[in-house]
Amino acid sequence: MHKPFEVTKNIYNVGVNDRTKHLFEGLWALPYGVSYNSYLVVDERIALIDTVDVCYSDVYFRKITSVLGEKPIDYLIVNHMEPDHSGAIEWLVTKYPNIQIVGNNRTAEMLKGYYNVSDNVKIIKDGDEVSLGTQTLQFHLTPMVHWPETMMTYISQSKTLFSGDAFGTFGTLDGGVTDAQLCVTRYWDEMTRYYAAIVGKFGSPVQSALKKLAGVEINTICSTHGPVWTEQENIEKVVGIYDKLSRYEADNGLIIAYGSMYGNTEQLAEIIAAEAASLGVKNIILHNVSKSELSEILRDIFKYKGLIIGSPTYNNKLYPGVENLVTALQNRGLKNRFFGYFGSFSWAGAAVKQLKEFSETMNFDIVGDPVEMKQSPNDEVAEKARELAKAMSEKLC
């Protein structure tokens, strides 16, 4: 096996790529796969920062030993206990029985609960440090980004931040490891999709973490998913994306997400989109909830200010895909959006009423009048749809 890539002097990426799994957390599509990043810091004492999914333990161990040979690991730093990063811990302590595991109080609880590990656990507090010799690890607690035990580790000597899941992105590392080695274009949308799907509920804790890091000089960001960020322009962009998304700010643009069984509700979506485009709205994206993967819809809703949702009535409720979407938006506490809605029914309407109830639970700016259609579009309904598009366009243009 080739020696793992040296990110910066004496810091190696010993993580793995997952090109097999179809769904992350059993929920989110992985068209480009995902990486589980782990970092080995070699000094007078040796620290391993986070681990990998347990199914990659054999590859992981070979990577570690290709750097260390028979040398022991002194510390395992656990920034995050989610099993895609902690899965190899139980295995690791059998290979390195004297390893000291470093984490906070919540980490210790989860180590016991997940892996029955309680020996050789060092509990740290915010701001504590561990010296490796020439390098010092400093710990910053960042609870609820996006689990209660999450923290970050910083090496001031190289200005390297090990950020856990923060600043993470879907997508494997294909050949290269750092942004300087990779074409990073595809990662920007995957970062937004990752944030919207995984972190989106926790805007306030992300803001708290960013404030804590505001005075920290960073030359390298080592996240647990995605590229290692080393170019200052990209570091600023990465932090800016997380800052913007966690404040629920967005660019001008319109997402129309709809369900449709036989195409009638979809026709209303098309009318609204065409009218909005004629009035100058450019970034318009239509998502059929039965076709678009939920994380793709969430990604685009996090990106753009305008949102219109449409649904047929289905068993006296919202269409299931629409219901799933509005529940996801409620769960993430989405706010600062211009919102409109429309619905349809064949004999008894319920969708518009329930979309109204949804809108009242959200911190949205309600735009225009809702459009309700019985059975199929007619001239009157089409005109109301165009009026809704006009009202939205006035907000976005």
Q: What is the pLDDT along the chain (397 residues), one digit of tens a residue?
A: 668 999 999 999 999 999 999 999 999 999 999 999 999 999 999 999 999 999 999 999 999 999 999 999 999 999 999 999 999 999 999 999 999 999 999 999 999 999 999 999 999 999 999 999 999 999 999 999 999 999 999 999 999 999 999 999 999 999 999 999 999 999 999 999 999 999 999 999 999 999 999 989 999 999 999 999 999 999 999 999 999 999 999 999 999 999 999 999 999 999 999 999 999 999 999 999 999 999 999 999 999 999 999 999 999 999 999 999 999 999 999 999 999 999 998 887 899 999 999 999 998 999 999 999 889 989 999 999 999 999 999 999 9
What is the pLDDT at residue 273? 98
| pLDDT (0 to 100) of residue 98 | 96
- pTM summary value: 0.95
Cis previous bond, 80, omega within 30 = no
Q: What is the pLDDT, as a whole number, of residue 1?
A: 60
Q: Which residues contact 211 (CB under 8 A, 6 or more apart)?
A: none
Distances (CA, A) of 56 to 14, 34, 125, 215: 11, 13, 31, 37
Q: How many residues does the chain have?
A: 397
Own/partner long-range contacts of 129-134 (Cβ < 8 Å, ≥24 apart): 130/47, 130/75, 130/102, 131/45, 132/41, 132/43, 132/44, 132/45, 132/46, 132/47, 132/74, 132/75, 133/43, 133/44, 133/45, 134/43, 134/44
Return the pLDDT at 162: 98
Residue with token string 């170019």:
231
Asked if 148 contacts 58 with a C-beta cutoff of 8 angstroms, the reply is no
Question: Which residues are CB-contacts of 395 (< 8 A; sequence separation ≥ 6)?
Answer: 305, 306, 338, 365, 367
Q: Quick one: CA torsion of 197, 200, 202, 205, rounded to 10 degrees?
A: 110
pLDDT at 2: 66
Are residues 114 and 84 in contact, defined by beta-carbon separation less than 8 angstroms? Answer: no
What domains are defined for the chain? Answer: 6-246 (3.60.15.10), 251-396 (3.40.50.360)
141 backbone dihedrals φ, ψ, rounded to 5°: -75, 130
- Position 244 scores a pLDDT of 97
Residue 252: per-residue pLDDT: 96
From residue 170, alpha-carbon distances to 21, 34, 40, 204, 381 in Å are: 12, 5, 22, 22, 41
